[in-house]
Amino acid sequence: MTNKRNYGILSLPVIVGALGYFVDIYDLLLFTIVREPSLKDIGVNLLDAKAAIAASTKIINWQMVGLLIGGILWGTLGDRKGRLSVLFGSILIYSIANFITAYVQNIDQYAYARFAAGIGLAGELGAGITLVSELLPKEKRGIGTSLVAGIGLFGAVFAYFTYDFTNDWRLCYKIGGILGIGLLLLRVSLSESGMFKETREKNVSRGNILMFFNNADRFKKYMLAILIGLPTWYVIGILVNLSNRFATALYNQSSLDSGRAIMFAYIGIAIGDILIGLISQYFKSRKKALYLFYFLCIISGFLFFSPVNGSDPIMYGICLALGFSTGFWAIFVTMGAEQFGTNIRATAATTIPNMVRGALPLLNLLFKDLFQDNWGWSLVDSGIITGVIVITIAMVSVYFTKETFHKDLNYIEKN
């Protein structure tokens, strides 16, 4: 037996992993929740829609690029130094970055601070999912990782109510830093993965990201694993993040609060992420569960752009539905971890979700720079076409992805 203890779905690694992801999501989504008041405070003219969207896009793009770079950094360290070392290092960096964000005075400072936070935030989920996947038996790991993600995603709800209560976006970032430091104390009680300990004793290459590119089959699996997650950040990064702008375009008169829309979306995502583990367990398949949620995403997207969406309360409800339909983040990351051997599993599980997050600037490039700025399309038309492209790519990618539900994870990849 690789692991001496028989961990359950409510064991300490799952609980601490869920709390860690809770803080991760709090920090990751805080900008989208305090976006408009924070931009106004640093001198952005919110009445100029083009300038406001440009400033928002720049800051979130820098954060996502930080996640992309951090994903590579922490992923390789997770396979070389251990899952726990990544959790400690990443938490420390994003906690410090949050304190720095609380004192920014202009757009550039804001963007650079969120870039640093992105690097730190990149390590939390992948390392946590890898650790839980390796500690839990295979018949429980789907439910365990779903609980980690589902509970963790309520961090966005907490972020919304924290700002709603304090009405101070700078204080919210400071609170995020304090929560991160508190997490460091909880991490001390965790044990390292037995699979990792065994692999460390063997003379094999660990944490080598080039292994995803020097073998055609591994490269295919890696790219497909990234592409199946694209709808999540299309929905959150474009539709929900700019929901107040879409509301104005769709039904003219609106006082919609995009922060509240994000809160509703993440309630949906959290519920979806918990349920998808049970659905995957029922189907005995990761892929069937994903297809079901893609179908729900298509229906929710249709409602978002349809005449049904004609008031703020309805928009909030549709954002809740959109969130639920993209509540497959846990299974998506779990599939990424299950695709690869122990010696590069943390690299896969950490880089794959952050490649998806890092793809948001490319989606924004398609949505804003190409379709709107260069081709002159409307906000609504650009949103629709971008969504059609994203969901098509994701569904095709799932079709060509191998099922991993019954896969034994105790193996290594040959260089």
Instruction: Give residue-wise pLDDT tens across range 14-24.
Output: 887 788 888 88
Q: What is the pLDDT of residue 195?
A: 59
Q: How far apart are CA 256 and CA 348, in angstroms?
A: 38
Q: What is the pLDDT of residue 4?
A: 43
Contact 107/116 with Cβ under 8 angstroms?
no
Give burial (CB, 10 Å; 0-12/13-18/19+) of 223.
middle
H/E stretch holding 3 reads none
CB 187 within 8 A of CB 17: no
Question: Could you write out the DSSP letters of every residue in 148-177?
Answer: HHHHHTTHHHHHHHHHHHH--HHHHHHHHH
- Output the pLDDT for position 259: 82
Site of tokens 């297809």: 291
Domain boundaries, the chain: 12-197+208-399
Cite the DSSP H helix spans in 188-338: 194-200, 216-227, 230-234, 243-251, 258-283, 286-305, 312-325, 329-338
pLDDT digits (tens, 9 = 90+) for 145-193: 778 877 888 888 899 899 999 999 999 999 999 998 887 777 666 655 5
Low-confidence ranges of the chain (pLDDT < 70): 1-8, 82-84, 87, 138, 187-207
Q: What is the pLDDT of residues 303-332, one digit of tens each?
A: 999 999 999 999 999 999 999 999 998 788
Are 233 and 357 in contact by the 8 Å Cβ rule? The answer is yes
Phi-psi region for residue 82, left (φ > 0), alpha (ψ -120 to 50) or beta? left
> Could you tell me how many residues make up the chain?
415
Q: What pLDDT score was predicted for residue 191?
A: 56
Q: 0.85 exceeded by the pTM? A: no
* Cα angle: 216, vertex 218, 222; to 5 degrees: 115
255 CB-contact burial (10 Å; exposed 0-12 / middle 13-18 / buried 19+)? exposed
Q: Are 255 and 307 in contact (CB under 8 A)?
A: no
Predicted local distance difference test score (pLDDT) of residue 32: 82
Architecture of domain 12-197+208-399: Up-down Bundle (1.20)
Whose CA is closest to 117, among 187, 36, 29, 33? 29
CA–chain centroid gap for 348, Å, is 14
